[in-house]
């Protein structure tokens, strides 16, 4: 049985200097610092790039049983390096499949934060009893993310042709990805 | 140029005795009569089968630019035969793809209400400027719906293995379907 707060051994050890903890609404000011930059860029997430502070918090924290995690610098717990959310992808007869979203601080790129979050979320999804983890909208142009997800065992189960309006590239495909649990 | 409120000629004429009109929140009592039965059955939609009156109204009417239509008996405009909702499938860079959901009154089965609504929604989606219409979660066991969508030009662009927990059949696949506009 795996323990919450640790990366699953199969995925490799947690990179040195990273720590996970559950996040609450009071952590939103920390998350918002990088979250808004990722969303405003409009090149990875299907969120309104102009979304404000309150709406963003509502979206990110959702409602039970959604959970939000924060990645901090192990040496400096007040420094947020990334955050992810995990919850049911659908309600009712679809609630046994989870979905997750990940945000990495620009300043923390290259430290393995994204990979650590995906591994952590797969573990947490298993703990929460989800039978699979589904990404509904991965921009095909987000090649780093796509490569990471494939590397961690996700497969592309569907493609929405031209489903993402990239600010520079125009219409690119949206990938739907899935990982059985 | 097609006119709102009429089925597109390519899909055949509107079946005799059916009429479409935009629905507002004040129509919810009429819609709720059959909507709650479809949702409570839990065998077609990924909605909470126990969803209540107010939560259902919020879900169905959503927020702008979502639109809701009502199908009535042409001879008796107070009788609701079906209703559908249409809106952006995603926000921001994904908002050019629409999504729609359809509910048919049990009492109105066999009158072509479902087919008329899908055709009407394709037309309205075009009027609203969507580039495609996407269904995120069609239970593979809902064979009538799948056959109808395929017949009207939708294709299966993805499959979530075991994504739907059918009350009698257990886990069945969820299909993701798409129609370019």
* pLDDT single digits (tens) A53-80: 999 999 999 999 999 999 999 888 889 9
Nearest CA in chain B to A134: B160
B45 touches chain A (CB under 8 A): yes
User: Is B20's pLDDT higher than 60?
Assistant: yes
Q: CA A158 to CA A143: how far, in whole Å? A: 16
B/e letters for A3-14, b = 16+ CB within 10 Å, e = fewer, are eeeebeeebeeb
Q: What is the pLDDT of residue A30?
A: 95
Q: What is the pLDDT of residues B57-105, one digit of tens each?
A: 999 999 999 999 999 998 888 899 999 999 999 999 999 999 999 999 9
Of B91, B131, B164, the CB nearest to A93: B164
Asked if B64 and B95 count as a contact pair (C-beta separation under 8 A), the reply is: no
Kind and range of the H or E element at B68?
A: strand B67-73
Mean pLDDT of A9-33: 84
Mutate to test the interface with A, among B87, B93, B164, B181 (most CBs of A within 10 A): B93
A18 touches chain B (CB under 8 A): no
Of B49, B167, B176, the CB nearest to A176: B176
Burial status of residue A91 (CB atoms within 10 A of its CB: 0-12, 13-18, 19 or more): middle
ipTM: 0.90
C-alpha radius of gyration, chain B, whole number? 16
Beta bridge partners of B133: B98, B179
Q: In terms of DSSP bridges, do strands A97-104 and A132-139 run parallel, antiparallel, or are they unpaired?
A: parallel
Of A50-54, A75-79, A151-155, B125-129, which gets the smallest average pLDDT? A75-79
Q: How far is B45 from chain A (nearest CA, A)?
A: 7
What is the end-to-end Cα distance of chain B in Å, rounded?
Answer: 14
* Confidence at B44, pLDDT banded by 50, 70, 90: very high
- 8 Å CB contact of A97 and B160: yes
Q: How far is CA B105 from CA A42, B111, B173, in A?
A: 40, 10, 25
User: Is B1's pLDDT higher than 50?
Assistant: no
Mean pLDDT of A161-179: 98
The contacts of residue A63 (CB under 8 Å, 6+ apart) are none
List CB contacts (< 8 A) between B47 and chain A. Answer: 91-92
Nearest CA in chain B to A49: B92
User: Is A5's pLDDT higher than 60?
Assistant: no
Q: Which of B61, B76, B75, B63 is nearest to B22 (CA)?
A: B61
Q: CA A21 to CA A75: how far, in whole Å? A: 14
Q: Would the CA dihedral through A67, A72, A76, A80 be positive or negative? A: negative
Mean pLDDT of B35-47: 97
pTM of the model: 0.92
User: Is A127's pLDDT higher than 80?
Assistant: yes
Q: What is the pLDDT of residue A37?
A: 97
User: Is B33's pLDDT higher than 60?
Assistant: yes
Q: What is the pLDDT of residue B14?
A: 76
Q: How far is CA B130 from CA A170, B4, B100, in A?
A: 15, 15, 12
User: Is A97's pLDDT higher than 70?
Assistant: yes
């Amino acid at each position: 049985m795996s323990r919450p707060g640790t990366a699953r051994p199969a995925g490799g050890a947690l990179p040195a200097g990273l720590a996970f903890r559950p996040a609450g609404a009071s952590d939103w000011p920390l998350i918002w610092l990088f979250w808004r930059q990722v969303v405003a860029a409009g090149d990875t997430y299907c969120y309104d790039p102009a979304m404000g502070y309150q709406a963003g918090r509502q979206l990110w924290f959702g409602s039970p049983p959604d959970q939000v995690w924060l990645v901090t610098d192990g040496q400096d717990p007040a420094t947020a390096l990334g955050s992810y959310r995990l919850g049911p992808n659908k309600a009712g007869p679809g609630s046994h499949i989870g979905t997750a979203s990940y945000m990495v601080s620009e300043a923390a790129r290259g430290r393995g934060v994204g990979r650590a979050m995906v591994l952590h979320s797969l573990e947490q999804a298993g703990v929460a009893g989800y039978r699979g983890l589904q990404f509904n909208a991965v921009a095909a142009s987000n090649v780093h993310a796509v490569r990471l997800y494939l590397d961690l065992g996700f497969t592309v189960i569907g493609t929405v042709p031209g489903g993402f309006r990239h600010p520079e590239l125009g219409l690119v495909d949206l990938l739907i990805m899935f990982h059985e649990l």
